[in-house]
Homo-oligomer: A and B are copies of this chain.
Amino acid sequence: MGNGKQISLAVIRRLPRYYRYLQELLENNVGRISSMELSAKMNITASQIRQDLNNFGCFGQQGYGYNVELLFKEIGKILGVGRDYSLIVIGAGNIGQALAKYENFVKRGYNIVGIFDNNPAVIGKPVGRLVVEDIEKLDDFVGSRSVDIAVLAIPSKNVPSAMRKIIALGVKGIWNFSAVDLDAPPDIEIENVHLTDSLMTLSYKLSNETVN
């Protein structure tokens, strides 16, 4: 939190993976693990594990390794797990509805509190515990509570206006499932999930020599 040293995105993206492996170890009652053992499980070097973790603190102990529970909790803290974020889903199409109903997010403290669309045919329709609301009511909705993340699951052509709207309402994080890149102010954090890009990458791997 503002202590200067900038941590690279490559490191950050590995943290959730560490978190998953540690959770599994914890569930299997493994109390401690060395960077070498973890390295074998995760198919990365022990050196990288130690380097990654030391960006955030000294969580291990010489001659012992890492306490699984402690490390799991520390990484959770770093990632902001369990801080009870509020999410709204913009777009009640296939993807939007699926995400709104997805239960794994809630477990980690990511609560989806609303889903919006501009299509009268879906407004009012139940989606899990929620009901699709008119996008026109977004202002009132967000105004009355704090929303941390907007999930964008709308067609490309609607993206710029939707983005302006949610940013104006003070939402600071965007989880972007749309097919376009966002051009947002620097204080807005964006995480893209470009599904078609991902599928095309797989398609490339299939039609060409293996890539590293």
The answer to whether A102 and B95 have CB atoms under 8 Å apart is yes
The answer to whether B199 and A13 have CB atoms under 8 Å apart is no
The answer to whether A102 and B108 have CB atoms under 8 Å apart is no
Interface 1/0s, chain A 143-171, versus B by CB < 8 A? 00000110000000000000000000000
A124 in contact (CB, < 8 A): no
Kindly state the separation between the CA atoms of A212 and B17 in the bound complex, as whole angstroms.
Answer: 19
Smallest beta-carbon distance A203→chain B, Å: 4
A contact residues, total (Cβ < 8 Å): 63
Give residues of chain A (52-108) contacting chain B, Cβ–Cβ below 8 Å. 78-81, 83, 85, 94-95, 97-99, 101-102, 104-105, 108
Q: What residues make up the interface of A, taking CB atoms closer than 8 Å to B?
A: 1-2, 6-9, 12-13, 15-17, 19-20, 78-81, 83, 85, 94-95, 97-99, 101-102, 104-105, 108, 110, 148-149, 172-173, 175, 179-181, 186-187, 189-191, 193-212
